[in-house]
Amino acid sequence: MKKDITSPAAFPKAEIGREMKGSDCVVECLIREGVDVIFAYPGGASQELHQSLARTDKIRTILPRHEQGGSFAAEAYSRVTGKVGVCMATSGPGATNLVSAIADAFMDSVPMVAITGQVFSKYIGKMAFQETDFYGMTLPIVKHSYLVMDANDLPRIFKEAFYLARSGRPGPVIIDIPKDVQQKKFQPVYPATVEFRSPYATATFHAPDEQLKQVLALIAEAKRPVLYAGGGIISAEAHKELKAFAEQTNLPVATTLMGLGGFPETHPLSMRWFGMHGSAYGNWAVDQSDLLIAVGARFDDRITGDTSKFAAGAKIVHIDIDASEHNKNKRAMLPIVSDVKFALSRMLELAKAAKFSPPDTQAWHAQIATWKQEHPFRYDESKHIVPQEAVQVLYELTKGDAIITTGVGQHQMWAAQFYRFDEPRRYISSLGLGAMGFGYPAALGAKVARPDKQVIDIDGDGSFVMNIQELATAKIENIAAKAMILNNQHLGMVVQWEDRFYGSVRGNTILGDESNVGSPENLDGLYPDFVKIAEGFGVKGRRVHKKSELRAAIQEMLDCDGPFVLDVIVPYTEHVLPMIPAGKTVKDMLLK
């Protein structure tokens, strides 16, 4: 989606700035792009930039305790606001620590600008101290990247980088700046517009009416239509259009995890989300559909399973801004290249103009209603707190109005199953890359972006430890991000696969002492002591293992006005269900 299309006819003038150092120019460029927060960890090659940041009061610089934490926080800031998230690190190890977040932003189409210091240009290629070829290293995981060899290029490069990060299909852009470029004194010229030789970079993608009318015609004939909505709905800010379109055409909607909240999950037309661990009814409906309209989605393997059997009886319409997604994993009968917001709103207009009346799909809706009734997301009660229950209680106590971040694993799925998302940008999770350790730093980024909202990281004890050092950031920077750890002392999702497919042989999936594994029934074996760790960081915490105390414990976490760690002790024996085993089909779905 173009947010800052500039008309060449207007000939806006470039602006000549006062003389300054390269690093000051970088800060000036960030201010001009509207950046108000940057997550940055200093080092020798980025020190100049930090000196310049120290001289401005327009940008809040947050010091994470690990570059990976900072970059995940920047990504979450972006996922929550839709604005470009910015992180910064020094050369070498600082830069390499950003790689996971850059890959994550690339997979999930998150607009992010990552700035790295680089060694003096005269040392490049000579294995200087803390030198890595970061430009070369990140080529496959960036939307675009720059190595700045001349300070005069800084204003243009920053303008381009922010434009590219947020336009079209968003993604990460890196800017690698050698120290001498940061130190160089020069007179910057700020361009008023961006120009690219690539026609793709500035193109506007609007589907022609003819194609959109075809979609409406297909809907009119359909007996079992389904709308399949992905993350594109959220990055294009098209959730209102999606709702209006679904209501107008009476289409049941299943989102992906990336699209969670893109359609209100409490809406009667919602089938929640589908895929490997998605709703049984969502999966069945997609499987048996005769018309599948995919909007802003990419037919990921966690959605389709065996692609040859995915929605085998459906005519597939695929609307996406990125033409390279069409026919990539699954052949579409009607591929449409378009900004999805445009396509949906234009289809609405066309439908109104043609006095479109939805087809009679009563039988289909009745079938879906039966499936919903018979197979909701569910879990068995236990004398212990089960992880699903903790999420359910959190949902009730927050009235569904919190921003939830997650790590990766079982808890990530349960968070999506038992919290319900009625609004976009509320479920913040590393989905394409599946990067453990995302949850807590993401909660920091989200809370900085939305201090008015409860932000809770629903995490696993494995994932949480991966970026546990960010508790220091929360404390020192005063960021009231909460963590609710569903602590089962195991790498639960891998354990689940071990149980299902590997005869329950434990291959390094126990996180504590194997001869004394902690559980709700063996509190002595619990490892580590998260409450004590939190205390060491100056963060409040509480452990809860009694079902009778769960509600009060969650309430205490919510009532705390600072960061908080709630350690919820749960059995490791729960499995995430339903489950479509990798590469299999809906028919192979495990329901228990």
CB of 334: closest distance to other proteins in angstroms? 17
Nearer to other proteins, 27 or 102 (CB): 102
- Cα separation, 460 vs 486, in Å, equals 5
Q: Give the interface segment with other proteins, choosing from 33-41, 320-328, 479-487, 573-581 (CB under 8 A).
A: 320-328
In angstroms, how far is CA 362 from the centroid of its own chain? 35
List 237, 322, 423, 499, residue binding other proteins (CB under 8 A): 322
CB of 142: closest distance to other proteins in angstroms? 9
Q: How many Cα atoms occupy the beta-carbon half-sphere of 433 within 13 Å?
A: 21
Does residue number 8 form part of the binding site for other proteins (CB under 8 A)? Answer: no
Catalytic site includes residue 469: no
49: closest CA among 137, 150, 143, 181?
A: 181
Catalytic site includes residue 493: yes
AA identity, residue 317: V
Single out the catalytic residue among 83, 143, 159, 179: 179
Catalytic site includes residue 521: no
Phi/psi of residue 65, nearest 5 degrees: -105, 5
Catalytic site includes residue 179: yes
The DSSP output letter for 121 is G
Does residue number 324 form part of the binding site for other proteins (CB under 8 A)? Answer: yes
In the shown chain, the binding pattern of residues 102 to 141 toward other proteins, with x for contact by CB under 8 A and - for none, equals ---------------------------------xx--xx-
List 76, 89, 147, 465, residue binding other proteins (CB under 8 A): 147
Which letter, b or e, does each residue of 310-319 get, where b requires 16 or more Cβ atoms within 10 Å of its Cβ? bbeebbbbbb
Catalytic site includes residue 51: no
Residues that bind other proteins (rule: CB under 8 A) add up to a total of 21
Residues 6+ apart with CB under 8 A from 217: none
- Cα separation, 91 vs 180, in Å, equals 13
List 216, 220, 323, 334, residue binding other proteins (CB under 8 A): 323
List 197, 355, 399, 592, residue binding other proteins (CB under 8 A): 197
Alpha-carbon Rg for the chain in angstroms:
25
Q: How many Cα atoms occupy the beta-carbon half-sphere of 232 within 13 Å?
A: 27
AA identity, residue 202: T
Does residue number 198 form part of the binding site for other proteins (CB under 8 A)? Answer: yes
Q: Give the interface segment with other proteins, choosing from 38-46, 143-151, 257-265, 266-274 (CB under 8 A).
A: 143-151
Residue numbers 33-62 binding other proteins by CB under 8 A? none
Angle at 467 between CA 463 and CA 468, to 5 degrees: 95
In angstroms, how far is CA 436 from the centroid of its own chain? 13
Nearer to other proteins, 8 or 140 (CB): 140
Nearer to other proteins, 201 or 558 (CB): 201
List 143, 426, 490, 540, residue binding other proteins (CB under 8 A): 143
Q: E-assigned strands of 137-231?
A: 144-147, 172-178, 185-186, 189-190, 225-229
Catalytic residues, which ones?
Answer: 67, 129-130, 179, 493
Binding residues vs other proteins (CB under 8 A): 135-136, 139-140, 143-145, 147, 164, 196-201, 322-324, 326-328
